[in-house]
Amino acid sequence: MSPSKDDGGPQLTFKRLHPTFGVEVEGMDWTQSPVPKTLLDEIITAINREGVLVFRNANLNNEEHVAFSQQLAGHQDLYDVKAHIKAGRAMRFPEQPEIFDVSNLDNNGNIVTEADPMRKEGNKGNFLWHADMAYNPHRALYSLLRAVELPPKSSGGETQYLDSRTACEELPEDLKKEINGLITHNSLMHNRKLGSPEYFKSVEPLDAPMAKYQLVTPHEGSGRDNLYLTTYAHHLDGRSWEDSKPLFDRLWNHLTQEKYVLTVYWENNGDLVMWDNTATLHRATDTGSYGGKYVRDMRRTTTKDTSRYRFGENEDHSWEAGISKVKTEGEH
């Protein structure tokens, strides 16, 4: 029997996108705001299991997007939805500071070109595997990314996800033992430098505080171990960057195997993708052929982690990382 809204049974059905994680969600009724508790419970159960949920044609506006995110955050007993308020640039939506603007548009709605190198070069860090806000001492739980206006089909802009829980479970035994109890130090600027070494060459990640997390952190929602390694990881506790790199490289070789990767294609304006940053990694793909030519208006909210692992190994969790101002010639 197919699920029905009226019989009190489950309302949602799922279409598998990858053998081990990620589903497209069907049967979601977005006309009800707030989303009823039973439906919210179904969504939480699904995200705990799958790590990535794709809602086609959700067609939320800014207010609904924020309201749903706040419900998710509230569901976890902590009403705390926060955007990257120190993103280093003004957002297009001053009325909704929770909305993080990940479009290719400037504040006047024009397509970003070479004229804004900080933004263009900084964005290259997003093409590397990461979990949102792993560089902050209070890490993120859910991200909700919504397509408002997509470029023409097949012009790029897919989002890729990586099943870091399955990858963790499938680590070779010797590697598993070797990383047991290790702690990473994480820096936003390290990722930005990896993405655009020349542009950020004068930036020294060690000049700013770093967030510390266990390399293997259990995922509270599923009880499974998760390899919480992102391209924000600069070094291991007690080791230099140089001494940490060989182990990071071995872990990246394992993690980034094709079998752990899911590519989500944005199909329609109004699509919404929700993911769990404490159970998956993700990355933007290169701007393909739309860059500089077509509008790609994407907007994101992020809820903070509410699990017992939310602060990692950070005693002071009151600060947030920001993009350092890059010194260019003539600047002091």
Residues in touch with Fe ion (CB under 5 A): 132
The nearer residue to Fe ion, 11 or 143, going by C-beta atoms, is 143
CB of 322 to Fe ion, least distance (A): 16
The C-alpha angle 272, 168, 237, rounded to 5 degrees, equals 105
CB of 11 to Fe ion, least distance (A): 29
CB of 130 to Fe ion, least distance (A): 6
CB of 284 to Fe ion, least distance (A): 7
DSSP lists the bridge partners of residue 183 as 214
Q: How many residues does the chain have?
A: 332
Question: Phi and psi (nearest 5°) for 63?
Answer: -65, -45
The nearer residue to Fe ion, 132 or 297, going by C-beta atoms, is 132
The nearer residue to Fe ion, 35 or 274, going by C-beta atoms, is 274
Rounded CA gap, 129 and 248, in Å?
13
Q: How are beta strands 52-55 and 23-26 bridged, if at all?
A: parallel
Report which residue's Cβ sits closest to Fe ion. 132
CB of 19 to Fe ion, least distance (A): 24
For residue 190, what are its two tokens? 């390290």
Rounded CA gap, 60 and 41, in Å?
20
The label of the residue with tokens 């479970």 reads 169
The nearer residue to Fe ion, 27 or 288, going by C-beta atoms, is 288
Rounded CA gap, 167 and 324, in Å?
33
Q: Give the residue among 111, 108, 118, 113 at the shortest CA–CA distance from 88.
A: 118
Rounded CA gap, 321 and 24, in Å?
33
Helix (H) or strand (E) holding 219: strand 216-219
The nearer residue to Fe ion, 42 or 132, going by C-beta atoms, is 132
CB of 173 to Fe ion, least distance (A): 31
CB of 282 to Fe ion, least distance (A): 6
User: At 166, is the secondary structure helix, strand, or coil?
Assistant: helix
Q: Give DSSP secondary structure letters for 73-110.
A: HHHTT---B---TTSSS--S-TT-TT-EE-SSB-TTSP
Classify burial at 78, counting beta carbons within 10 Å of its beta carbon; exposed 0-12, middle 13-18, buried 19 or more.
middle
CB of 136 to Fe ion, least distance (A): 13
Q: What is the DSSP letter of 21?
A: S
Question: Which sign does the torsion angle of CA 127, 128, 129, 135 carry?
Answer: negative
The nearer residue to Fe ion, 101 or 132, going by C-beta atoms, is 132
The nearer residue to Fe ion, 11 or 283, going by C-beta atoms, is 283
If one counts every other C-beta atom within 10 angstroms of the C-beta of residue 57, the result is: 13
CB of 300 to Fe ion, least distance (A): 8
